[in-house]
Structure 1
Amino acid sequence: MKRVTKSLRQVRDAELTQQQILDAAELEFARHGLKGARMGAIAKGANVTTATLHYYFENKEGLYKAVLQRPIDEVQAMVSQLNLDHLAPEDALVQIIRLAIAHEATNPYRQMLWFQEASQNQGLYFKQSNVQSLHEPLIKVLERGMSTGCFRPIDPYLTLTHILSVCLFYFTVHENWKHLTPEIDRLSPEMIEKHTEAAIAFILAAVKKIGM
């Protein structure tokens, strides 16, 4: 029994260490991209040695790939809990919008992570991640909305881009806009909810069939 307990503790400790590394790496990669990030800075942020980084993720590239994949896996797990197929297209779209904004609000640096990937690597590692499966539920909702006459005829993939822009650009420009209105905390729960409701109204107005 003692051996089992020790084994379970070791597993939990290893999982915690990996999460600490991924958290520190995400911030470092968001700030500097793959090329500018330093493993020493990541190790310091995670309160581990650089040897520990290499033990869990082999090298900087491996760690970078894990950092890019993590938000995709997290959102996929949350989307799977929504049971979108059992909701009306409009309600399903609202749930996706709420999830996207809420997830980004708790991880406000992830948009800079994707920006760095596009800028430095032209999407080289982005295309290796399983991001397409992340977009499929939204595409499916949009197509179902059109087939049932709830949504007007739209290009699903272009509309997906527009929806993500409305939901997530808010966080991309936060570090700039906070200087324009320093009295407003745009990451406060109240402002996030205001942004969410405005995004829902804006997007539904854009996709709903006139007269619906």
Structure 2
Amino acid sequence: MFVVIPDVLTEAEVATLRTNAATEDFLDGRLTAAGRARNVKNNLQTDRRSERMSEAQDLITAALNRNSTFQTVAAPRRILPPRFNLYKEGMFYGDHVDNALMGDEGDKIRVDMSFTLFLSSPQDYDGGELVIKSGMGNSTYKLPAGQMVVYPTYYFHEVRPVTRGERLACVSWLQSMIREPARREIMLELAMISNMIQSRDARAAAAAQDMLDKVRKNLLRQWIDD
């Protein structure tokens, strides 16, 4: 389940984060890559534990806490402190799967979901698309500044080479209170059904009935024993 969440940040918050990023010290992204990922990672990133990142992390965390869609989609138990990722012309991150365990030594968490929060406008750079690869094919994302895509961490994904300009984003990972992706999807659909019913729109009510039928059938698949 890949979910795009619009308007996670206000225009003022995007501007604040861009200003913050302009004063940050960026390091070689390969410093945090493990195994074969080192061979395909070519970007710059901030140290998520640095004191200078604290203000940006607080701003992003507050935005995530107030966003009801994110809370429903992710049901976060713990979110790792976000970091800035910067791709300059020629930089990329080839196919990889994020680690199952992340965090500081002695305080690692199981990682269930990843997110990319876009800070550059699509017009500011060419290339740089986030591509998530699943059994349904490739899903490509190049979102407006302030928008986010959230996705299960176990999929192969890449950032295509930037051919013009610079691509700035915030990325992080989380452990969900709902471990199983199928159950997280059901919780999201139930929230959508509730919103459809509350809208009192006839077309929305019909769509809610269809989605409720889907939820019922998928719950039966989980609960019925052979």
- Of Structure 1 and Structure 2, which has the larger fraction of its residues in helix? 1
How high is the TM-score relative to the length of structure 2? 0.25
Q: Indicate the structure (1 or 2) with the bigger Cα radius of gyration.
A: 1
How high is the TM-score relative to the length of structure 1? 0.26
- Of Structure 1 and Structure 2, which has the larger fraction of its residues in strand? 2
